[in-house]
Amino acid sequence: MMVVMKEDATKKEIDHVIEKLEGAGLRAHISKGEFKTVIGVIGDREKIQNLPMEVVPGVESVIPIQKPYKFVSREFRHEDTVIDVGGRKVGGDYFAVMAGPCSVETQEQMSEAAEGVDKEGAAFLRGGAFKPRTSPYSFQGLGEEGLKMLAKAKEETGLPIVTEVLDVRDMDVVAEYADILQIGTRNMQNYILLLEAGRTGKPVILKRGFGSTVDELLMSAEYIVKGGSSQIILCERGIRTFEPSARTTLDLTAVPILKNLTHLPVIVDPSHATGKAGLVTPMSLGALAVGADGILVEVHPNPEEALCDGPQSLDIASFGALMEKIRPIAATLGKKIS
């Protein structure tokens, strides 16, 4: 359930509600909006039902949450969550472009990519240091050495880093370098990893599994909240269907569906979804048109020489052309490029 506090509720009254809930063996999760504070309650349903919170001073109302996912639902928070990373914003009126190579290969490649995407207007630098591949014999990434290269590129451009974490054993070292942690599609239901990502307190991009439903994605997001972080960005990156003409089918219908169900920002990964550089621009524009809060695009200085996912990567000039198309559409839709 949700305990909605009155607009003029004092800190003392809010603290009293939390003490009362915790004293009954329940967990309280606080969400402070512009005008009101909402306290989400987790615990035994019978204990919740037997607690007469309506009569507690400062409480305006008590509302049951019907969805199985509690804290990421619109029922819990009506306003859009906006995630701020060093002044770069994701969600609300902002459209965030995250760009960079699939894999960190060399410092020269990483610095050139960072300089290029920064010049063309990207807000975040993406790059993989730990790379899970379908084949165990494919390039697997540079690990911590790759993270150091990302950090150097950040130092040169000021772009915050987005990079994937694959294993709880790597969580601390990845969190040391990353501004946003990414949980890939294969790990969407790796619940231990989700909990540990939440415990870092860092923003997390959670990619939808290619065989997962929207509800399953939201339940996975709930694990991150349970771990301790509500700074979650959901990412649609394609689902597996019978259609073989692209790597997966990019489910753009998921964007407005998610925006209706959750207050969390929703971005789209057209690069991994389609697997083809020629499809990245139209699908990026489609994502913007249906209400996405950003895109995650693979950009490489020389896609022909990329060690990973070259066929789906834009070169820097093509990325610049994409940004030129994005700007007027974003302005028409009332979105600011963060």
Query: Are residues 117 and 248 both part of a single domain?
Result: yes
Q: How many CA atoms lie within 13 A of 100 on its CB side?
A: 30
Query: Are residues 58 and 89 both part of a single domain?
Result: no
Whether 8 maps to a domain, the answer reads: yes
Q: Tell me, what's the pLDDT at 201?
A: 94
Q: Tell me, what's the pLDDT at 76?
A: 84
Query: Are residues 109 and 23 both part of a single domain?
Result: no
Query: Are residues 126 and 210 both part of a single domain?
Result: yes
User: Cα 135 from chain centroid?
Assistant: 26
Which residue, among 298, 282, 293, has the nearest Cα to 330 in the 3D structure?
A: 293
For residues 180 and 204, the answer to whether their CB atoms sit within 8 Å is yes
Give the tokens for residue 280: 């990245």
Whether 195 maps to a domain, the answer reads: yes
Whether 133 maps to a domain, the answer reads: yes
Query: Are residues 99 and 234 both part of a single domain?
Result: yes
Instruction: Classify residue 228 as exposed, middle or buried by CB count within 10 Å of its CB (0-12, 13-18, 19+).
Output: middle
Whether 150 maps to a domain, the answer reads: yes
Q: Tell me, what's the pLDDT at 34?
A: 72
Q: Please, what are the averages of pLDDT over each run of 10 residues along the chain (338 residues)?
A: 88 92 87 81 74 89 81 89 96 97 94 97 94 56 89 97 95 96 96 96 97 97 92 97 94 98 98 96 98 98 88 96 97 94
184: helix, strand or coil: coil
Query: Are residues 34 and 109 both part of a single domain?
Result: no
Whether 73 maps to a domain, the answer reads: no
Q: Tell me, what's the pLDDT at 36?
A: 81
CATH number at residue 171: 3.20.20.70
Q: Tell me, what's the pLDDT at 287?
A: 98
Q: Tell me, what's the pLDDT at 168?
A: 95
Whether 72 maps to a domain, the answer reads: no
CATH number at residue 9: 3.30.70.1140
206 phi and psi angles, rounded to 5 deg: -110, 115
For residues 162 and 121, the answer to whether their CB atoms sit within 8 Å is no
For residues 297 and 280, the answer to whether their CB atoms sit within 8 Å is yes
pLDDT digit string, tens, across residues 153-205:
999 999 999 999 999 999 999 999 999 999 999 999 999 999 999 999 999 99
Read off the DSSP letter of residue 80: P
Q: How far is CA 153 from CA 55, 86, 89, 91, in A?
A: 56, 16, 20, 25
How many domains, the chain?
2
Query: Are residues 172 and 49 both part of a single domain?
Result: no
State the alpha helices, DSSP H only, in 24-97.
45-49
Whether 78 maps to a domain, the answer reads: no
| Cβ-Cβ contacts under 8 Å for 5 (sequence gap 6 or more) | 13, 14, 17, 36, 37, 38, 39, 58, 59, 60
Whether 221 maps to a domain, the answer reads: yes
Q: Could you give the dihedral angle defined by the CA atoms of residues 269, 130, 248 and 246, in that order, rounded to the nearest 10 degrees?
A: 90
Query: Are residues 199 and 302 both part of a single domain?
Result: yes
Q: How many residues does the chain have?
A: 338
Domain encompassing residue 138: 83-337
Tell me the sheet residues that pair with 103. 128
Model-level pTM? 0.86
